[in-house]
Structure 1
Amino acid sequence: MQIFKFGGASIKDADGVKNLASVLQTTGYDRLLVVVSAMGKTTNALEVVIENYFNNKPELQSALQDVKKYHNEILLELFDNENHLAFKKVKAFFTELNAVLNANKSPDYNFVYDQVIGYGELISTTIISEYLNSIGIKNNWIDVRELIKTDTFYRRANVDWEATQRLIGSKLDTSTLNITQGFLGSDPNNFSTSLGREGSDYTAAIFAYCLNAKNVTIWKDVPGVLSADPRYFENARLLHKISYREAIELAFYGASVIHPKTLQPLQRKEIPLYVKSFLNPTAPGTKIYKDMVLEPWTPCCIVKKNQVLISLSSLDFSYIVEENISEIFSLLHLYKMKVDVIQNSAISFSVCVDNIYNNLDILVHQLKAKFKVTYYENVSLYTIRHYDHKTIAQIETDKTVLLKQLTPETVQVVTK
């Protein structure tokens, strides 16, 4: 088996769907599983639906209509006949989504989020599957929620590997082309779960691990893994080869081309990962595999926007010791803060976090009971692997540096 993953940017319109088909015709699709994200910005649009469901009911149907219209326009460009089965299947999903919203009794935002958000993937894969069938590329459409089982940590669910491997091994026909959704799973009660934003890459890795796949290819709108995001950094270079270890470091620090969890299952079974351009499918792209030296050797720059820097000091000038740090991390865990940088001295402790779940206010309130607390919102965290002084200077120019931390391989700078 080979595993392909196509992200939302690659299928944002009808031409993107046709290009996906062209990639399959170019590369071949024997014994292939294709993992697909929601189309374009559908996930963002469904987040608006969820927000309106909780806080602006009068706008709910309008937000849903925007999502329907977007997909209907793609359907009309792909299929000549509005009686095609694809229209009926997509309509059925929107009917089901409405029923989910009407029947829901849970006040838990994260639970509702996961019941709604996956319809983007369910619809995108249905459209693609039906289009491929219509041009003679026969395939099976698979509901990934029947194969990937997770716990109930909604919006960032943890995979039940034993159950998942058993289901994939027993239910998936590996002799043909299969189309399935990224990002999704289901809990023990069969409620939908999601694996975190950008989790479709992780889905591809899960299938690769369970199927002992030959390789995984992530198809992007860039030629491969770049040394920096060209939207924020000049002179980004294509990295031809990266080791698992280096790629895991880059992913941990926030490199957007690879989901942080994606590489671990691939590394365990030494399955190569390729990152290639869906605009140029015959180009070599980037290969990620074991024991590879970074090629070319160059500084790799990552930026994470909209972070929060929290600085704590003891109220009585006593040392910040293990007991204090343990308590701080218990609170960070309780309020689901993703920690990206830690720095401490005798009487102070600073941490840069991702406030994914919007729990900052309650966290700060709890911390103020025992510490003096200062925090800065909307800061940027820059990470440079294999840094040089020129690259650091470029990042710091015209910015206020709030925190800086260097190790032999990596520098991290928090700026305002």
Structure 2
Amino acid sequence: MRVYKFGGASVKDANGVKNLAKVLQTTGHENTLVVISAMGKTTNRMELVIKNYFENKDQLQSSIHEVIKCHQDILEDLFTNNRHQVFADVKAFFDEMNAFFRSNKSPDYNYVYDQVIGYGELISTTIISHYLNEIGLKSHWVDVREYIKTDNYYRDANVNWEATQDNIASNLDANILHITQGFLGSDSNNFTTTLGREGSDYTAAIFAYCLNANSVTIWKDVPGVLNADPRYFENTQLLYQISYREAIELAFYGASVIHPKTLQPLQRKEIPLYVKSFLNPKADGTCVSKGQTLIPEVPCFIVKKNQVLISLSSLDFSYIMEENISDIFSLLHLYKMKVDVIQNSAISFSVCIDNLYDNLEKLLQHLKAKFNVTSHKNVSLYTIRHYNDAAIQDLEKDKTVLLKQLTQGTVQIVTK
């Protein structure tokens, strides 16, 4: 059994869907489970739909229509017969979403987000499964919510591994081609949950673990894992081999090619992960597996934008002791802040955080009751793995450095 994952960029239009089919025809499609994300920028469009539902109901239907139109254009490019069953199946999902908006009584943004956002994946996989069947690649559409069970921590749910393993092992035929959704699961009440943004890679790893798969392949628009994101860095290099441990380190610091949760289940069963280009499926790409740390051995650069740097000191210039630090972390947990860097001295404490849930102002007000607080918004956090002096100097050029922290093998720099 193999597990493939295709992201939104690979199926952003009809040509992308046709290319996915070519990849399957080139590499073989038997004994394969394919995890697919929402098409193109659908998730962003769906987030606007949710925002309008809460803040601007006059624009709700127009934002939904925009999502419908994008998918309708793809459908019309792929299927010449407008009476094909796929048109009715896609319409049924949009009708279901509208019915949810009419009946929902919950004011919980995170709950509503999870019930709505996943229609992007449900619709993309429906279109692709029908298209593959249309061209003779027989596929079975699978609703991932029936297999991956989670708690109800909406927008970043935790997998119930025992229930998920039982569902997949008992109900999934490993001998045929399956098409399913990334990113999604369901809780004990069968409400939709999500595994965190970019969680489709994690979905692929969950299935691979439960199926004892031979490999996982993530198909992207890059040749493999690069030593830096080419959107922000020049002269990037392809990494041919990365150990599980190194890949976990890179993911932890925010490398966007591999989701942070993806690697742990694969490492436990030593299932190799390949990152390959869907434009050149026969190329080797990158292999993440047990073995040498990094080939070639070069500095690896990671940047996280739109971070917040908070610096604290005690009101009476007393030491920042264990009790203070415990209070700080309790508040960071309460307001769901993701901590990326910590630095403290005798009388100060600094932390770089990701304000994912938009709770920053509440956190700052709470902290100001006990500390002197300084905050810098919209800062950038740079991490260099396997750094050298030249790499640091080049990165710091023309930037204002707010915080810098070096450990063996890793340097982190917060800049304005």
Shorter-normalised TM range: over 0.9
SS of corresponding position for 1:279: coil
Say whether the 8 Å CA contact 2:243–2:288 is kept in structure 1: yes
Question: How far apart are the structure 1 equivalents of 2:12 and 2:350?
Answer: 41
Q: Give matches, 1:4-23, under 5 Å.
A: 4-23=4-23
Give, in whole Å, the separation in 1 of the partners of 2:346 and 2:244: 36
1:318 offset after TM fit, Å? 0.7
1:69 paired to 2:76: no
Aligned-residue offset at 1:281 = 0.1
**Residue 332 of structure 1 corresponds to which residue in structure 2?**
332
CA distance in structure 2 between the aligned counterparts of 1:233 and 1:2, rounded to whole angstroms: 33
Distance 1:346 1:236 in 2: 40
Equivalent residue number for residue 36 of structure 1: 36
SS of residue paired to 1:158: coil
Structure-1 separation of matches of 2:174 and 2:231: 39
Q: State the 1:225 CA deviation.
A: 0.1
Give 1:292 shift.
Answer: 2.1
Tell me the equivalent position of 1:393: 393
Which residues in structure 2 correspond to 1:263-282 (within 5 Å)? Answer: 263-282=263-282
Superposed CA offset, 1:358-412 (max 9, x none): 0000000111111000000000000000011111111111111000000110000
What is the deviation of 1:290? 1.2
Is the counterpart of residue 95 in structure 1 residue 95 in structure 2?
yes
Partner of 2:141: 141
- 1:220 Cα deviation (Å)? 0.3
State the 1:163 CA deviation. 0.4
What's 1:230 paired with?
230
In the alignment, is residue 209 of structure 1 matched against residue 209 of structure 2? yes
Alignment of 1:42-61 (within 5 A): 42-61=42-61
Alpha carbons 2:183, 2:200 under 8 Å: kept: yes
- Supply the AA of the counterpart residue of 1:16: G
Per the TM alignment, residue 293 of structure 1 is displaced from its structure 2 partner at its CA by 2.8
Letter in 1 for 2:407: T
Consecutive unaligned residues of structure 2, counting only runs of 5 or more, are none
Equivalence map 1:17-416=2 (5 Å): 17-416=17-416
Q: Residue deviations 1:213-246, cap 9 Å, x none?
A: 0000000000000000011111110000000000
Q: How big is the shift at 1:59?
A: 0.2
Amino acid at match of 1:263: L
Question: Percent same amino acid at aligned positions?
Answer: 74
RMSD: 0.5
In the aligned structure 2, how far is the partner of 1:153 from the partner of 1:311?
Answer: 29
Cα deviations by residue, 1:34-80 (Å, 9 ceiling, x for unpaired): 00000000000000000000000000000000000000000000000
- Give the AA of the match of 2:337: M
Unaligned runs of 5+ residues in structure 1 are none
Matched residues in 2 for 1:313 and 1:291: separation? 44
Please give the alpha-carbon distance, in whole angstroms, between the structure 2 residues aligned to 1:102 and 1:154: 21
Query: Any runs of at least 4 consecutive aligned residues in structure 1 with deviations exceeding 4 A, and if so which?
Result: none
TM-score normalised per structure 2: 1.00
Secondary structure at 2:294's aligned position in 1?
coil
Asked whether the equivalents of residues 245 and 293 of structure 2 are also in contact (C-alpha less than 8 Å), the reply is no
In the alignment, the residues of structure 2 paired with residue 390 and residue 280 of structure 1 have an alpha-carbon distance, to the nearest angstrom, of 33
Query: What are the Cα deviations for residues 228-271 of structure 1, in whole angstroms up to 9, with x where unaligned?
Result: 00111111100000000000000000000000000000000100
Partners in 1 of 2:247 and 2:62 — Cα distance?
42
Amino acid at match of 1:405: Q
Deviation at 1:175, TM superposition (A): 1.2
Tell me if the contact between 2:4 and 2:35 (Cα under 8 Å) persists in the aligned partners: yes
Given the two structures, how large is their TM-score scaled by the length of structure 1? 1.00
- 8 Å CA contact retained: 2:299, 2:391: yes
C-alpha contact 2:8 2:38 (8 A) present in aligned 1 = yes
Amino acid at match of 1:338: K
SS of 2:320's equivalent in the other structure is coil
